[in-house]
Amino acid sequence: MDNKRKADDSDDADVSAAAAVVEAKKRITESTATAAVAAATTTTTTTTSYVAGAAAKGRKAKPILVILPGASGTMSQDMTNFLIPELHKIFDVRIREKKKWNGWDPIKNAKQVVTASENLCPTSDEPEQQQPWFVMGCSFGNRVAVSIVAEKLTSIAPGLILTGYPMYGGSDKGKEVRVEHLQSLPSTAKVLAISGEKDDYLTKNVPMSSLTTGAQSLWDTVLKGMECNSTTTVHIVGKAGHGVYPSAKGRKGETTTQIIQWIQDFVSSDGEKKVSAAAATKKNKTMLSFFEKKK
């Protein structure tokens, strides 16, 4: 009987000891959790203070750049590998997801781009909505970008960066429509256009009635009919095709550097720098020589 009582007392002691260990661990866990919450609160407060301090010092967020790909919904390899990474350093880059456009009506597609569901363009509750922002088009994406401004689909019109604008398109059908689309832009539009010297989508189907040949000459002719010609700057990349990059691998880096410089100049002036047709022609001839084959 005494032996049984001793055994029971021993079991009770073991249970009590185990319970004490559990209780101790629970207290340690609760203490650690409380400390973690306090630390998180402190960190959040510090972060909030930092952001508020940055705003007070007038630090500006990166301007928004919405990028609209071509008809396939994808970017060219050169754009993806070379240009896009550099643009991230300058802009809050927002690229339309990889999917085909909804038909060939640029206005209908532009209306979809500016909807909240696309989550691309700045909305009225974003501080950036009150700041200059930009849309960069690639191939068919250029026509959608132009529609956003021409149709006044946003409260603040974006600056337009057109890369490889399909002036006369890849087919002979509706070859004047794309030119008319550009010339529908209002006088307030701010445009930077970058085209390849050998872009077939620019020069292939020029109307027979026109004596104009060559990428720069075509742009000069179209500019005369644009109300925003004084706030439109055109650059031609020598030896480049529709994707505004030369095929030579050795030219990719310097082409990227030059395009980024053109974009930075455009952004810093918000496209307001006026360039006469003569000055633009002279300037672009210089840029062509930049990409001439090195001896």
Residues 66-77, mean pLDDT to the nearest whole number: 94
Q: Are residues 79 and 54 in the same domain?
A: no
User: What would the pLDDT profile of 118-172 be if each residue is shown by its tens digit?
Assistant: 889 987 666 555 578 999 999 999 999 999 999 999 989 999 999 999 998 766 6
Other C-beta atoms closer than 10 Å to the C-beta of 78 total: 19
Q: Which region among 46-50, 89-93, 173-177, 204-208 has the lowest average model confidence (pLDDT)?
A: 46-50
Q: Are residues 32 and 117 in the same domain?
A: no
Q: Where in the sequence is the domain holding 203, given as residue range(s)?
A: 64-290
At 107, which CATH number? 3.40.50.1820
Q: Give how many domains the chain has, as a whole number.
A: 2
Q: Are residues 121 and 81 in the same domain?
A: yes
Q: Are residues 21 and 78 in the same domain?
A: no
Q: Are residues 256 and 112 in the same domain?
A: yes
Residue 91 near residue 66, CB atoms below 8 Å: no
Task: Name the percent of the chain lying above pLDDT 90.
Answer: 55
Residue 155 lies in a domain: yes
User: What would the pLDDT profile of 108-126 be if each residue is shown by its tens digit?
Assistant: 999 999 998 888 998 766 6
Helix (H, G, I), strand (E, B) or coil at 134: strand
Q: Are residues 20 and 78 in the same domain?
A: no
Q: Are residues 48 and 143 in the same domain?
A: no
Q: Are residues 36 and 101 in the same domain?
A: no
Q: Are residues 103 and 244 in the same domain?
A: yes
pLDDT attached to residue 153: 95
Residues 181-185, mean pLDDT to the nearest whole number: 96
pLDDT attached to residue 147: 98
Q: Which region among 51-60, 80-89, 202-211, 238-247 has the lowest average model confidence (pLDDT)?
A: 51-60
Query: Phi and psi of 129, rounded to 5°?
Result: -60, -25
Residues 70-79, mean pLDDT to the nearest whole number: 93
Q: What is the dihedral of CA 189, 221, 277, 68, to 10 degrees?
A: 40
Q: Give the model's confidence band at 269: pLDDT under 50 very low, under 70 low, under 90 confident, else very high.
A: confident
Domain boundary among 40, 59, 78: 59
Residue 233 lies in a domain: yes
Q: Are residues 24 and 133 in the same domain?
A: no
pLDDT at 237 over 80: yes
Domain boundary among 35, 59, 83: 59
pLDDT at 198 over 60: yes
Give whichever of 25-34, 40-49, 110-119, 190-199 has the largest mean pLDDT.
190-199
Q: Are residues 29 and 108 in the same domain?
A: no
Q: Are residues 95 and 220 in the same domain?
A: yes
In sequence order, what E strands does the chain have? 64-68, 92-95, 134-138, 159-163, 191-196, 232-237
Residue with the bigger pLDDT between 64 and 174: it is 64
Domain boundary among 21, 36, 59: 59
Residue 267 lies in a domain: yes
Residue 39 lies in a domain: yes
pLDDT attached to residue 42: 37
Tokens of 33: 């959790």
Q: End-to-end alpha-carbon separation of the chain, Å? A: 109
Residues 182-200, mean pLDDT to the nearest whole number: 96
- 232-237 and 159-163: which strand pairing? unpaired
Residue 295 lies in a domain: no
